[in-house]
Amino acid sequence: MKISVIGCGYLGAVHAATLASMGHTVVGIDVDSSKVEQLNKAMAPFHEPGLDELLKDGRTTGRLVFTTDFAAAADAQVHFLCVGTPQSKTSDTADLSYLMGATKSLLPHLAKGAAVVGKSTVPVGTVETLRAVLARRSDVLLGWNPEFLRQGTAVKDSLVPDRLVYGVPGGKGAAAGAPVTAVLDSVYEPLICAGIPRLVCNFATAELIKSASNAFLATKVSFINAMAELCDASGADVSELSEAMGLDPRIGNRYLHAGLGFGGGCLPKDIRSFRAQARELSVPSVDEWMGLVDSVNLDQRSRAVEVAREMCRGFLSGRTVTILGAAFKPDTDDIRDSPALDVAQQLAAAGAHVTVTDPKAINNAWIRYPQIRFEASTKRALEGAELVLLLTEWDEYVSLSPSEVGTLVRRRMVLDARNVLDAEAWRSAGWTVRGLGTGASVVAAENGEAKRADRKKHAAR
């Protein structure tokens, strides 16, 4: 089947390459000519494990090509819309201008009876707006097929997804939805044959399945981070708490890892867009809920800065601080709404001399953060540090040797804001270790109490 993929970013490039690997002939279209050029050289324009290999296969078989020219989509039977839907610059709502723009550019090139299928994450009701754009082409089929891949495991997630969701006119069982269901079944035939569940529903449900899924993942992360705050206030340990909770299969341990919270190009903007949708639809509970999830998440970044300040005895100004990690999570070079860079920026604003290192994301970060020093070598970044913060849990940081790192730094102090280090091993090597939610503030307060009591005793003598 000939397929076009419009928008070849983190989602579209992976989608195009995996469709080609399933045997389809795919043209990827993007307005960014440098991205297109790179993709045609079988080089992913971003770090995504396994994508280069898939691109190379697609280019070698001749089934995968990228272009800026929408006319190349003319003979495709299916067109997947994969352009960005970022948060609007002035409100919580999603900016749908790229989606509308791409659809308008595609319109003159649509073959008779072609299918236009959206994959971008959109507010409920968007498909109806798109239907209006396509109104003069009653022959064109419209479908919505939200995507659930994660960056860093995008190739695997696309080849072995947990489920396929088809939003079709009229929903499951409706005659109007049958043609687009059949087209999507042909596209995903290898996945369906492999037993991947596929759910057919109406447009509003498909749109909401995606938003609600991201909202739930964000809720889980913020829930455990709120528990982390309780743990710090009470002397409990959030890692032990989440491990025990997660063993209950009704709860599960995934997305229950407390720390610096979520970032990236999707969860933060999607929960804000969800809030805006709830307000528009007069459902205040969802608006308030998502508001709380967002604020708990952002608070984790401020808490990390406060713990860093505490570790520097109240003064960040002039301190030499090294941050391990710039990407919003490991195995990606994506720095969109990166919690690590947010903390780096806050520390720099407080007067600390901040150096950030990352295995993949530095090229994306240095232009956007001129007040921060970036250093590609972990070893050089650590030299002379008075405080180390682990903010993105790349494997190579988790497996650092505390004794070797100890020879590089000026003071052996680490804030493990992802709660991933073997704290005992680091402490044995002479490090002061703090996490988020590890009960340390109570310990610190108790120590403070003990010291104050000691001081009183001494004064009384």
Ligand X SMILES: NC(=O)C1=CN([C@@H]2O[C@H](COP(=O)(O)OP(=O)(O)OC[C@H]3O[C@@H](n4cnc5c(N)ncnc54)[C@H](O)[C@@H]3O)[C@@H](O)[C@H]2O)C=CC1
Binding residue positions: 30, 35, 85, 121, 210, 255-259, 263, 269, 329, 336
Q: Are strands 320-324 and 141-144 parallel, antiparallel or unpaired?
A: unpaired
Rounded Cα–Cα distance for residues 120 and 122 (Å): 6
Helix extents (H) in 62-115: 97-106
Euclidean distance between CA atoms 126 and 122, whole angstroms:
6
Among 224, 266, 343, 354, binds ligand X (CB under 6 A): 266
Nearest C-alpha neighbor of 121 from the set 210, 184, 199: 210
Could you tell which of ligand X, ligand UGA, none binds residue 82, using a CB distance below 5 to 8 A set by kind? ligand X
CA distances, 459 to each of 446, 447, 450, 455 (Å): 20, 18, 14, 6
266 belongs to the catalytic site: yes
Assess 102 for contact with ligand X (CB under 6 A). Answer: yes
Residue placing its CB nearer to ligand X in the complex, 217 or 305: 217
C-beta separation of 433 from 420 below 8 A: no
Euclidean distance between CA atoms 14 and 158, whole angstroms: 8
Single residue of 85, 126, 338, 364 touching ligand X by CB under 6 A: 85
Closest distance of CB 197 from ligand X, Å: 18
- What is the C-alpha separation between 372 and 354, in angstroms, rounded? 6
Cβ density class 427-447: b for 16+ within 10 Å, e for less: eeeebebbbbbbbbbeeeeee
Beta carbons within 8 Å of 348's beta carbon, 6+ residues apart: 354, 371, 372
83 is a contact residue toward ligand X (CB under 6 A): yes
How open is the CA angle 14-196-251, to the nearest 5 degrees? 95
| DSSP 8-state symbol, 296 | H
Which of 82, 201, 231, 266 is an active site residue? Answer: 266
124 binds ligand X (CB under 6 A): no
- Residue 221 lies near ligand X (rule: CB under 6 A): no
Residues 223-252 that bind ligand X (CB under 6 A): none
- What is the nearest approach in angstroms of ligand X to the Cβ of residue 372? 23
Positions touching ligand UGA (CB under 6 A) are 121, 147-151, 214, 217, 221, 255-257, 259, 261-264, 266-267, 328-329
The entry of ligand X, ligand UGA, none near residue 267 (CB within 5 to 8 angstroms by kind) is ligand UGA
Least distance from ligand X to the Cβ atom of residue 134, Å: 15
SS3 4: strand
Q: Which does 257 bind (CB under 5 to 8 A by kind): ligand UGA, ligand X, none?
A: ligand UGA
Binding residues for NAD(+): 30, 35, 85, 121, 269, 336
Binding partner of 263, given ligand UGA, ligand X, none, CB within 5-8 angstroms per partner class: ligand UGA
Report in angstroms how near the CB of residue 17 gets to ligand X at its nearest.
13
205 contributes a contact to ligand X by CB under 6 A: no
Binding mask 148-177 for ligand X (x = CB under 6 A): -x-x--------------------------
Q: Answer yes or no: are the C-beta atoms of 436 and 260 closer than 8 Å.
A: yes
One-letter amino acid identity for 292? L
Cβ–Cβ < 8 Å for 281, 442:
no
What phi and psi values does residue 320 have, to the nearest 5 degrees?
-95, 115
**Contact residue for ligand X among 29, 124, 241, 293 (CB under 6 A):** 29
Shortest gap between Cβ of 148 and ligand UGA (angstroms)?
4
Determine which residue in the list 9, 123, 263, 402 makes contact with ligand X, applying CB under 6 A: 9
CA–CA dist 52, 146 (Å, integer): 24
Work out how close the CB of 90 gets to ligand X at its nearest, in angstroms, rounded to a whole number: 19
Which residues does the annotation mark as catalytic?
266
Give the binding site for ligand X (CB under 6 A): 6-12, 29-32, 35, 82-85, 98, 101-102, 105, 120-121, 147, 149, 151, 265-266
